[in-house]
C-alpha cells in the first residue's frame, strides 16, 4: 500500500514527509483494519511533521481523522462487521486501570496511545484501530465532511465544555474564539446552537467573513479586543502570545481554554491585569470516548456545516504546507 511517513521531522518547506510503499497491515485480535477513504489534516499532523511533537517511532504515518470501511476483523472483534463505515480518532487506547480511567476521565490516562503518534495513522491506504476506540459515524455526513469531526470537532466540543458557559446567566453567555480554522469553525456552530453570543478574533480576513456568515456576532483581528467583555474564551491558534490578550478580554470570573496539543511560549503575565478577579486558564487533553460519541450525535442534530478544502491522497505534503502557511479554507481533507 502507499503511505506517507515522517521521514525526518523539520520545517514543512523542507518536505519532511515521504510517500513510500508498505505492506498492508494485519489487524491484531482486538483491532479492525480500515480501508481509508478520507483523512482530515490536523494541525497536530503539522506539529508531528515539523518536530514540535516528537514522533514516538521512526517513519510514523500521520493522520488521526480517518474515515473508511472495515475490510478485516481481528479474531476477538464483535463490535463491527466487514463493510461498516467507521471513524478512527486521535485517542487510540487507554490503560483502563489507572485512577483516571476508573473515574470516567480516560483522557487523562497515564498510559494512553494515540493514532499517528504511537501507531500509524490515516495518511495511508489502510490503517488499523482497536475496535473499542473506533466510532460509528452519523449518516448526516459523507466521508469528506465526517473526517474533521473526529479531532477538530471533538476537541472543540471538549473545549466548550471546559469553558463552562452554562454557569453564567443566559443573557451573558459571551464566548470569544481566537483563531478560526478547522476546529474553531465547528466549535462556533456548537456554541451558537447552545445559545452563546460568539465573537471571533483571527488575522485571516476570509475566516472573519466565514465567521459572520455562520452567525457569529462579530469578527475582528487576531489581537483586537472583542466588542464586549467575555465570559469565556477558547484559544485555537497555537500562539502563546495570545494568552494575555485573551485573558485581558475576559470579564470577572471568566475562563480561557487552550485547545491544542502544542503552544508557542506564553509571555509573562501581570497578575492584576490578566488573572485577578478569579480569571482561570485551563488546557485540554484529548477526549474520552463518551465525549466523541456525544459530539457526533450533536453534530448531526445541529446539523454542523463542515467547511473543507479537498486534496487528493498524493498531495498530502501540499496539504500540510498549505495548512502551515494559512492557505486552507476550513479543514483540509485527503480523499482517495
At residue 296, does pLDDT exceed 70? Answer: yes
- The confidence band for 213, taking pLDDT boundaries of 50, 70 and 90, is very high
Beta-sheet pairing, 250-258 with 230-235: parallel
Query: In sequence order, what E strands does the chain have?
Result: 2-6, 17-21, 31-41, 66-73, 85-88, 91-93, 113-114, 126-130, 135-136, 174-178, 197-201, 218-220, 230-235, 250-258, 280-283, 308-312, 331-335
pLDDT at 164: 85
Query: Could you read off the pLDDT of 223-259 as tens digits, one per residue?
Result: 999 999 999 999 999 999 999 999 999 999 999 999 9
User: For the whole model, what pTM was predicted?
Assistant: 0.93
pLDDT at 96: 96
The domain segmentation of the chain, as residue ranges, is 2-141+306-335, 154-283
pLDDT at 282: 96
Q: What is the mean pLDDT of residues 114-128?
A: 97
Percent of the chain with pLDDT strictly greater than 70: 98
Query: Could you read off the pLDDT of 141-200 as tens digits, one per residue?
Result: 999 999 999 999 999 999 999 998 766 655 569 999 999 999 999 999 999 999 999 999
- CB of 281 closer than 8 Å to CB of 243: yes
- State the CATH class of domain 2-141+306-335: alpha beta
- State the CATH class of domain 154-283: alpha beta
Query: Could you read off the pLDDT of 256-273 as tens digits, one per residue?
Result: 999 988 899 999 999 999
Question: How many C-beta atoms surround the C-beta of residue 103 within 10 A?
Answer: 9
pLDDT at 172: 61
The one-character DSSP state at 119 is: B
Cell output for 30? 482486538
Bridge partners of 91, per DSSP, are 114
Closest by Cα among 168, 140, 83, 143 to 305: 140
Taking CA 116 as the corner, what is the angle to CA 114 and CA 117, rounded to the nearest 5 degrees? 60
Amino acid at each position: 500500500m502507499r503511505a506517507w511517513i515522517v521521514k525526518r521531522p523539520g520545517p514543512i518547506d523542507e518536505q519532511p514527509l515521504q510517500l513510500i510503499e508498505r505492506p498492508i497491515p494485519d489487524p491484531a485480535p482486538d483491532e479492525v483494519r480500515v480501508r481509508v477513504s478520507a483523512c482530515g489534516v490536523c494541525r497536530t499532523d503539522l506539529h508531528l511533521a515539523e518536530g514540535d511533537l516528537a514522533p514516538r517511532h521512526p517513519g510514523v504515518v500521520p493522520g488521526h481523522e480517518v474515515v473508511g470501511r472495515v475490510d478485516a476483523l481481528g479474531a476477538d472483534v464483535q463490535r463491527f462487521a466487514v463493510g461498516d463505515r467507521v471513524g478512527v480518532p486521535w485517542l487510540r487506547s487507554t490503560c483502563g486501570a489507572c485512577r483516571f480511567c476508573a473515574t470516567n476521565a480516560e483522557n487523562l490516562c497515564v498510559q494512553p496511545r494515540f493514532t499517528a503518534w504511537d501507531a500509524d495513522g490515516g495518511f495511508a491506504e489502510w490503517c488499523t484501530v482497536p475496535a473499542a476506540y473506533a466510532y460509528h459515524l452519523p449518516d448526516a455526513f459523507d466521508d469528506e465532511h465526517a473526517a474533521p469531526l473526529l479531532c477538530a470537532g471533538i476537541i472543540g466540543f471538549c473545549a466548550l465544555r471546559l469553558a463552562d458557559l452554562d454557569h453564567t446567566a443566559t443573557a451573558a453567555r459571551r464566548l470569544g474564539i481566537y483563531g478560526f480554522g478547522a476546529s474553531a469553525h465547528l466549535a462556533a456552530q456548537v456554541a451558537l446552537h447552545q445559545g452563546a453570543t460568539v465573537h471571533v478574533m483571527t488575522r485571516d480576513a476570509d475566516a472573519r467573513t466565514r465567521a459572520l456568515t455562520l452567525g457569529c456576532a462579530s469578527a475582528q483581528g487576531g489581537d483586537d479586543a472583542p466588542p464586549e467583555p467575555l465570559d469565556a474564551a477558547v484559544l485555537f491558534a497555537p500562539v502563546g502570545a495570545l494568552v494575555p490578550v485573551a485573558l485581558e478580554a475576559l470579564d470577572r470570573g471568566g475562563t480561557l481554554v487552550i485547545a491544542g496539543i502544542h503552544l508557542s511560549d506564553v509571555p509573562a503575565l501581570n497578575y492584576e491585569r490578566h488573572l485577578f478577579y478569579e480569571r482561570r486558564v485551563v488546557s485540554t487533553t484529548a477526549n474520552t470516548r463518551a465525549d466523541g460519541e456525544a459530539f457526533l450525535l450533536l453534530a448531526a442534530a445541529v446539523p454542523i456545516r463542515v467547511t473543507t478544502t479537498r486534496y487528493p491522497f498524493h498531495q498530502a505534503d501540499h496539504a500540510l504546507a498549505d495548512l502551515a502557511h494559512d492557505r486552507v479554507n476550513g479543514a483540509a481533507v485527503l480523499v482517495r
